[in-house]
Each structure stands twice: as structure tokens, then as C-alpha cells.
Chains A and B, each alone.
Chain A
Amino acid sequence: EIVMTQSPATLSVSPGERATLSCRASQTIGNNLAWYQQIPGQAPRLLISGASTRATGIPTRFSGSGSGTEFTLTISSLQSEDFALYYCQQYNNWLTWTFGQGTKVEIK
């Protein structure tokens, strides 16, 4: 099983600042990585697929990068609605998908 490790567990950021979230895969996954946002009490929302392709309707302040085993989600200027949990998920092989444990982005 591919283990996805996200860091940090919690990120404290002030509104308007940049947030950088990391996700590491235990083995190479190409660019088969998605990012989701989950606001407490709500369902997850797809932000990014293919490591860097924004989903429909996702603001341009969200960007994804990386390939292989190291990936990054960057939120360029945090808005109040961006304080949430973020999960990465690898889908390199059919039916062996795994999620990271999540990074909480909180207000500093």
C-alpha cells in the first residue's frame, strides 16, 4: 500500500498570507495525485487533480505542483473561507487509492 504523508499536521497562517502544504508518497505515483478541501461539517471538495489541474470553479489562488513522490498545494493569499482541512489522495493504480491524514489550515 502506498502511504501518503502530509505535513505539517496543522498550519497557522494569517489571512492574506501564503500557505504551503506538502504531501509525500511512499513510492512514486507520477502525477496521479488529487487535493481536497474539507470545511468542518461539510463534504470534501475536489481542488486539484493530476497534481496541478484545478477542478471546475476552483479559484486561481489554489495551485498544485510536484510529481513522483513530492507534492505541494499552495494557497497564494488565504481568504477566510480557506481555513479548512486539506487532504491529498494518490490514485496511481486502479483500486489501490489512499489518502493522506490531512493538514489543518487555521487562522494565526
Chain B
Amino acid sequence: EVQLVQSGAEVKKPGESLKISCKGSGYTFTNYWIGWVRQMPGKGLEWLGIIYPRDSDTRYNPSFQGQVTISADRFINTAYLQWNSLKSSDTAIYYCARLLVVAAGFFDLWGRGTQVTVAS
């Protein structure tokens, strides 16, 4: 089955670090860009950045540059989203998703999401 499996929900305090994961299976993980998309409580969707797992080429939405770090390990078909110092405003559901076509920017396969809660 073609799928993206994300790590479980996290509850953290402001200032803490966090790394969440997204593991692809059922397809050649290194052939497709993986993106991260944020959904804040009751809000819409925002893309944070994308990564090409084959060579870890990474591009960020300018609005999120410097706020998060995206990485990948092609040997275990996993992409990551990382924060060095969480803020309460980082509370959201984070989805990983696959870009079907490199020349287009829509996502055809989504993970179930990781709930990140940042509270003191």
C-alpha cells in the first residue's frame, strides 16, 4: 500500500526542541518531493517547505524559513520536520504530503498528520 506514516502526537513546553517524522512506503520514496503542511486550530492549510529525499535538496516557504528545519534520510525512507525552540504558536497539526509531479505543486498523497501541542 502506498502511504505516508507519521509519528505520533507530541506535547511540549515552550522553548523545547522537537523532531517529527514521516515514513513513506509502497513507492520509491526517493523519486518524489515530500512537503510539510501546517494546519493551525480551526484554520486552513499552509505549506512550510519541501525536500527531495534523493539528495536532500530542500526549499522553504519564505514565511517559515528559519523557523523550522526539514531533513530526510533516504536509507530509511523518512522525512523530518524539526524545531529548535518551540513557541505556543507552533501548536498545530502537521501533515507530510507527496508532490506527484515535480513541475507542479499539488500533493497527491498525505499522511494522517501529527498533532503538536506547545503549552506551559
Q: Which residues of A are interface residues toward B (Cβ below 8 A)?
A: 32, 34, 36, 42-46, 49, 55, 87, 89, 91, 94-95, 97, 99-102
Contacts and interface: CB of A to CB of B under 8 A. Distances in A.
B48 to A, nearest CB: 11
Main secondary structure of the interface of A (DSSP, over half): loop
B46 A49 contact: no
Contacts, number: 52
Interface of B: 37, 43-47, 50, 59, 61, 95, 97, 100, 103-113
Given A43-B111, A87-B45, A89-B105, 11 more contacts: A36-B45, A43-B95, A43-B110, A44-B97, A46-B107, A94-B103, A95-B61, A99-B46, A99-B47, A101-B44, A102-B44
Given A42-B112, A43-B113, A95-B59, A49 B44 contact: no
